[in-house]
Amino acid sequence: VQLQASGGGSVQAGDSLRLSCAASGPSFSRYHMGWFRQAPGKEREFVTSISRSGGVTSYADSVKGRFTISRDNAKKTVYLQMNGLKPEDTAVYYCAAKNVILSDTRVRVEIDEYDYWGQGTLVTVSS
């Protein structure tokens, strides 16, 4: 599967953005999806993930209550709604995919648990 992230931009603190990650290729619904981010000078970190059906989600504590992940399997797209953005949310955001069986809803927070990565989209939040 190939992943294309979009929707990044420059915003003010408190603003909202919605990122999209469009997948190409068949069987998008077979993939557990995640969003990670990498701030300048820092390691890539887990942000959120969603199970194949969308029924199970998980969030990093730093974004809980502000960010929402969702997916539309018919459109082969996963979304990241980001509200209440803070300057510390500034980073390149990456979507990632892992092919799993339907019953596997285990949360995946580690980079090496994902097989496919998008190119990243930059989010800059100014105070």
pLDDT in tens, 58-80: 999 999 999 999 999 999 999 99
At 39, is the secondary structure helix, strand, or coil? coil
Cα–Cα separations (whole angstroms), residue 115 to 29, 83, 99, 108 = 15, 28, 8, 12
Cα–Cα distance, 38 to 91 (Å, whole number):
5
Task: Report the pLDDT value the prediction gives residue 105, as an integer from 0 to 100.
Answer: 86
Task: Report the pLDDT value the prediction gives residue 70, as an integer from 0 to 100.
Answer: 98
